[in-house]
Amino acid sequence: MNRTRSRSSRHQGRGSLGGLALLGALLAGCETYFVDPYPPDISTLPRERVMKVRDTPVVYGLIFDLHIPNAAECTRVKGQLTATLRAALLPPGREGMELSVHDLSPGCVQPSQRTYPYTRYAEQHAAAVARFGQGRFKPVLLYFNNVELTLPPSLREDFINLQNGGGNSPQVWALTTQEVLSNIRFTQSALWTYSSDPRLTAKLEELARAQLPFIQHEQPPAGGFALFTSQELSWVREFKGCTYATGLSGMNFVYGPQTLTVNAAYPPRYQVTVPTQEPVPRNQKLEPVTIRFALEACREHCERFFSTSEGELLSWNATPRCLLSGSL
């Protein structure tokens, strides 16, 4: 922290404003080098705020579209898929939410015409928003289909619209046959082998381990951040902003090179803006956002004259720039 101090005791008199005016007139009229005996006591205060990358809640749902003639096998397979994927996507201790199951083929009897119940999904999505916040999660829907037929046009169109729905759109991961995959693209897919295959869900489990939970930049609190520590507030009388960072703004003051007086009862607070980005898989590179800026703070004699490194003699709080380290 750079700082200047008075050359004489702080307990000595400061001199009147009239004296300062006379001093300015004398300086304007002669070239004699002058050093203010009571220069402003100023310091450079660096600031840094890091917006970290954080895990987001895992919100997922299962979509069954199976055809299994044996009722007991139907129940077993759906139970096995539910338990295995629940353990992979939402293990104990992980924040998240399991949406209600959508069964497009009740009883594992697949009808020829099927549609996706988007209204039910929208209701569950709204419940997740109420719990975690808008834009703070990216749903994953897992679709299971073991029939070697292409999707009916209505269901195919529903899945396309679901995945292309903008900010509310989920990722859809499919465990299905090559015939289904021949005329539609899912976010992630794996081939269905046979219902008793112990590695039937292995690829989906690997995807879950690699990509979940999705990550996102943390968002700043609505109330912003304190510009000064409590200790600094005990001595800072006035301050200026010396450097600017993208996304930085004052909340109860205008950040800039002009001099501002500190009111300890209503201390200054600032806010940073982080670009809004939907959650992305954790194996994508996402770096923390670091906001750095600097202040020049004055302890006393703030109205007095400061000799700059360029040989200027300037009244500190009347000069709209930082004098120790340059300005905006």
Q: What is the pLDDT of residues 108-148, one digit of tens each?
A: 999 999 999 999 999 999 999 999 999 999 999 999 999 99
Check pLDDT > 60 for residue 8.
no
Beta bridge partner(s), residue 42:
298
* Structural contact between residues 63 and 116, judged by C-beta atoms closer than 8 angstroms: yes
Q: What is the pLDDT of residues 282-309, one digit of tens each?
A: 999 899 999 999 999 999 999 999 998 8
Q: What is the pLDDT of residues 269-286, one digit of tens each?
A: 999 998 888 999 999 989
pLDDT the model gives residue 26: 47
pLDDT the model gives residue 311: 86
pLDDT the model gives residue 328: 57
Check pLDDT > 70 for residue 212.
yes
- The arithmetic mean of pLDDT across residues 205-224, rounded, is 95
How far apart are the C-alpha atoms of 204 and 199, rounded to whole Å?
A: 10
Check pLDDT > 90 for residue 19.
no
Helix (H, G, I), strand (E, B) or coil at 33: coil
How far apart are the C-alpha atoms of 179 and 171, rounded to whole Å?
A: 20
How far apart are the C-alpha atoms of 117 and 272, rounded to whole Å?
A: 40
Q: What pTM was estimated for this model as a whole?
A: 0.79
pLDDT the model gives residue 1: 59
How far apart are the C-alpha atoms of 28 and 112, rounded to whole Å?
A: 94
How far apart are the C-alpha atoms of 207 and 200, rounded to whole Å?
A: 13
- The arithmetic mean of pLDDT across residues 31-56, rounded, is 88
Check pLDDT > 60 for residue 208.
yes
Range with the poorest average pLDDT among 24-33, 86-95, 175-184:
24-33
- The arithmetic mean of pLDDT across residues 234-241, rounded, is 97
Question: Of 57, 42, 34, which Cα lies nearest the Cα of 3?
Answer: 42
**Average pLDDT across the chain, whole number:** 90
Q: Where are the domains of the chain?
A: 17-53+218-318, 57-213
How far apart are the C-alpha atoms of 117 and 125, rounded to whole Å?
A: 13
- Strand-strand pairing, 188-191 and 171-176: parallel
- The arithmetic mean of pLDDT across residues 193-205, rounded, is 97
Fold (CATH) for 57-213: Rossmann fold (3.40.50)
Q: Quick one: the chain helix, strand, coil %, rounded to 5?
A: 25, 25, 50
- The arithmetic mean of pLDDT across residues 165-171, rounded, is 81
Q: What is the pLDDT of residues 49-94, one digit of tens each?
A: 999 999 999 999 999 999 999 999 999 999 999 999 999 999 999 9
Check pLDDT > 80 for residue 175.
yes
